Structure 1
Amino acid sequence: MVFQSVYYLNGGEGSRKSKRFYMGFSATLLALITIALACNVFFGQEMWIEHRDVEGGPAAFFAENIAAWYNTLGTAADVTANILGDGLMLYRCHVFWGHSSLAMGFPVLLYLASVAMGITTTIQSGLPGHNLFRGITVNFGIPWIVLTIVFNIIVTAMIAVRLLSMHSKVNRVVGEAMRKKYTGLLAILVESALPFTLLGVCYLATYIREIPESLAFADIWGAFVTISPQAIILRVAMGGAWTRETFNRLESGMEMSVMEGGGRDAHNEVEPDIKSHSSGSHV
């Protein structure tokens, strides 16, 4: 997905600064998920292969070394990726709701609280004798996951509402292909990172109960921490994501539609502009 994004960004239109930002963001996410995965794989090798014969077996090694530096590094990489991914979601929400400071206030506060709890959880999990999935660290981890989930649910809802509210207006000024592109289910799911939110709910349900299944959901959810924002970047690179310019062009088309009676002429004027704009990258 990263290489696809870079390919489309290189071949598309848009400012060089914007392209460099998205390329750098993608590379950072790729590096973070690679670090997190490498740390998990190394811990697995140590637990299941190198030290399998320790007293108590792999379970005892897990409990004894869960706070090892490489596990803390992996947790820090995932938390950092989550902060960046939520930041991208906050920006996408701003694209839709930037006209309303009041609407953006609550998501911003949730985001800052989530960042603070994520950092606190990482530090707590790295203390000697502490366990990310057990004991006092869970008291910090639960609020962090809850804040992240609530943040994504609220931002998801705000983006979905904005997309759906534009549906009838888009119908008047663009063709069938463009309606599907900008208001279809795929656009809502990818733009709002809904899979990440749903997986977060599953992870939280197992994490609260401190059951072994939480480890599996932690790995899957940790992967989507980077997959979801990268999917948004890929849509931006391919020209399929909403931008401020999208709204400006649609609004211009709507005004033209009103002035000219809303007929086929308005459709013919607006759609080429949007197609031209969507052929490359965006802000």
Structure 2
Amino acid sequence: MSDPSWTTQEPPELLWFEQVNYVSVAIGSIAYGIHIVIFFMCAYYLIKENKQGNWRWLAFVFTLFGLGTLNICFNLHFNQMAWVDKRNYPGGPLAFLLEQQNVPINIAGNAISAIIPFLADGLLIYRVHVVWNRWWLIVVPILAWLAALALGILTTVQAAEPNSPLWANSTVNFALPYFSLSMALNILLTILLVSRLLYMRHKITSTLGAQYGKTYTGIATMVLESALPLGLVSLVFIVLYAIHNTAELLLLVLLVQVQCISPMLIILRVTRGRAWSANSVDDAQISKMRFNSANPGSTTAGASRGTGEMSMITFKAGSTSQLRSKDSDFV
């Protein structure tokens, strides 16, 4: 039977702060479990495919997994320091959480939190280049990407100062623009990817039929290709952070793991031949050609004898003759 005197006498807002710090790591640990599964699936298919260029993406996947692992370990250890190792800290765990955000292990975790989105957004920019094949379209995203990295470094440096945790005004001045720019970049890339996939779905559906459009540009494709889950989590986090709601801490550790998972899902789809690559059909390769309905098996693009009409695909020289190539790469 519990004794009422055991209940903490801390004010509700401070108790809530302690609770969200504890629960956020638990939520992040659940996401890390998903991260582990996706990582091993990516590694398995990259190794199984045994392509010459796959070592680059293996290195990318291993780097993301390593950074995500270190981040969750650092967060777990920091919590252990607050509630176990340093339990006699003056003022208790709450004071430790508020005053010791600049311990080396927490600074390292913050630095990793800036590196991971840089890598994740870099892959999204690359996917935009792949599905659009327009270099000028990624100029602004690249500039925003580099600016976000600079702000992320400044935020990490500022958070490393004594009594300057992530929610301190001195840190917010850097962190809020950083998170806002990172989220805006993610939304921009998502819009570019989804709009292109929707356009290509329309072109393929009108040319080959609805089954092809569903296969290659369905809802699942758009969600995974555009890293939409990352955009949604980022949006909720930045709103809570901007209004100084303590609940934003619930998403802080989760966000890092989602930033690792989203690019891995894209890589997984490409290695399994289910994502758009440079060898996938584009709008310049789709055309409608007429031929004799009496010879529906013909692929000759010559005369327009008869009244029958059938849609087919023509390809540029050297391109693949399939909508999806098992030999396609990211480039």
Contact 1:95–1:243, Cα closer than 8 Å, also in 2: yes
Structure 2 counterpart of 1:59, which letter? L
Contact 1:97–1:104, Cα closer than 8 Å, also in 2: no
Could you tell which deviates more after superposition, 85-94 or 213-222?
A: 213-222
Q: For structure 1, which runs of at least 5 residues remain unmatched after alignment?
A: none
In the other structure, the counterpart of 1:8 is 45
Structure label with greater radius of gyration? 2
Structure 2 counterpart of 1:64, which letter? E
In the other structure, the counterpart of 2:176 is 142
In the other structure, the counterpart of 1:126 is 160
What TM-score results when the alignment is normalised by the length of structure 2? 0.77
What TM-score results when the alignment is normalised by the length of structure 1? 0.89
Query: Which whole-Å deviations, capped at 9, do the CAs of 1:207-255 have from their partners, x for residues lacking one?
Result: 123332121111111211111111111111111111121135x743x24
In the other structure, the counterpart of 1:163 is 197
Structure 2 counterpart of 1:74, which letter? G
- Any idea what SS the aligned residue of 1:266 has? strand
Per the TM alignment, residue 98 of structure 1 is displaced from its structure 2 partner at its CA by 2.9
Query: Which whole-Å deviations, capped at 9, do the CAs of 1:23-65 have from their partners, x for residues lacking one?
Result: 1100000000011101100000000112223332211001121
Distance 1:46 1:230, change over 3 A: same
Map 1:1-283 to 2 at 5 A.
1-12=38-49, 15-17=51-53, 19-99=54-134, 101=136, 103-174=137-208, 176-247=210-281, 251-252=284-285, 254-255=286-287, 257=289, 259=301, 263-264=309-310, 266=312, 273-275=322-324, 277-278=325-326, 281-283=329-331
Per the TM alignment, residue 190 of structure 1 is displaced from its structure 2 partner at its CA by 0.7
- Any idea what SS the aligned residue of 1:128 has? coil
- Any idea what SS the aligned residue of 1:95 has? helix
Q: How many residues align?
A: 277
- Any idea what SS the aligned residue of 1:246 has? coil
Q: For structure 2, which runs of at least 5 residues remain unmatched after alignment?
A: 1-37, 291-300
Per the TM alignment, residue 147 of structure 1 is displaced from its structure 2 partner at its CA by 0.4
Q: Percent identity?
A: 30
Could you tell which deviates more after superposition, 226-235 or 121-130?
A: 121-130
Q: Distance in 2 between matches of 1:257 and 1:116?
A: 51
In the other structure, the counterpart of 2:34 is none
- Any idea what SS the aligned residue of 1:166 has? helix
Contact 1:238–1:281, Cα closer than 8 Å, also in 2: no
Query: Which whole-Å deviations, capped at 9, do the CAs of 1:191-216 have from their partners, x for residues lacking one?
Result: 11111111111111221233321211
Could you tell which deviates more after superposition, 74-83 or 92-101?
A: 92-101
Query: Which whole-Å deviations, capped at 9, do the CAs of 1:135-179 have from their partners, x for residues lacking one?
Result: 211110001110011001111001111111112211244455432
Q: Distance in 2 between matches of 1:174 and 1:180?
A: 11
Q: Distance in 2 between matches of 1:185 and 1:97?
A: 19
Distance 1:121 1:195, change over 3 A: same
Could you tell which deviates more after superposition, 187-196 or 166-175?
A: 166-175
Distance 1:281 1:4, change over 3 A: farther
In the other structure, the counterpart of 2:24 is none
Q: Specify which structure has the higher proportion of helix.
A: 1
Distance 1:257 1:38, change over 3 A: farther
Could you tell which deviates more after superposition, 120-129 or 140-149?
A: 120-129
Distance 1:175 1:22, change over 3 A: farther
In the other structure, the counterpart of 2:25 is none
